[in-house]
Amino acid sequence: MSRYHGDQYWTEIHARTMRDWREFNDDDVDAFHAIRHEREVRARDQRAFARSQRRMEPADRERDR
């Protein structure tokens, strides 16, 4: 699932939750947890990449671009 579609699906689930939480089935909950996990992993990877970029010497940063 692409990032766009994952975010779109998460938004849909969130809107449904606000309307009526009893409409959820187990598949929706499982999909929600999978999307949330994917978002957490992506955020963790982005933070790790940013940290590694800050640690690199300026010359190394230019070479990796």
In contact, 16 and 24? CB cutoff 8 Å: yes
> Domain segments of the chain: what residues?
3-64
Output the pLDDT for position 14. 78
User: In 10 A of CB 34, how many CB atoms?
Assistant: 13
* Max CA separation in the chain (angstroms): 56
The answer on pLDDT for 15 being more than 70 is yes
pLDDT tens-digit series, residues 37-60 = 998 999 999 999 998 888 886 666
